[in-house]
Amino acid sequence: MQRVPIQSRLISSVAYNADTQTLHVWFRNRKHVSHDNVSEAIYLNLVSADSAGFYYSCYLSRKREPARPYAAVIAAKLMAACILSLLLVGASATDTAMASHIPFWS
């Protein structure tokens, strides 16, 4: 496995192990990442791409993204935030009405 230098603002070099189908990527910020189950075609495309950083971002970095929360979790958090804000606004209106000695229902 030999490191191949890449002309990219993002990536400094890559190496590919065909036996294990592992791609190693070294970034300009000195971070090293390895990807398993990468075909040799993907490696060759990365090395020969006009923009290796763009190719990496589109075809390889997405594999490493953490799973996104389910829509139901996001909806529940949004609902809780809305209810909390309504309670706070309602309490504020009640406090304002009582402070001015004007009934808030009129």
Which pLDDT does position 58 carry in this prediction? 87
Residue 48's pLDDT is 93
The pLDDT of 11-21, averaged and rounded, is: 94
Q: E strands along the chain, which residues?
A: 4-5, 11-17, 22-27, 32-35
What are the tokens at 26? 């070294």
pLDDT at 92 over 70: no
Residue 42 has pLDDT above 80, yes or no: yes
Amino acid 87: pLDDT: 80
Q: Say yes or no: 97 and 47 in one domain.
A: no
Using the predicted structure, report yes or no on whether residue 47 has a pLDDT greater than 70.
yes
Same domain, 8 and 60: yes
Number of domains the chain contains = 2
Same domain, 93 and 50: no
Examine the domain organization and report whether 57 and 90 are in the same domain.
no
Mark whether 60 and 71 lie in a shared domain.
no
8 A C-beta contact, residue 53 and residue 60? no
Q: How far apart are CA 105 and CA 65, in angstroms?
A: 52
44 against 100, higher pLDDT:
44
**Could you tell me the residue range of the domain that residue 100 belongs to?**
67-106
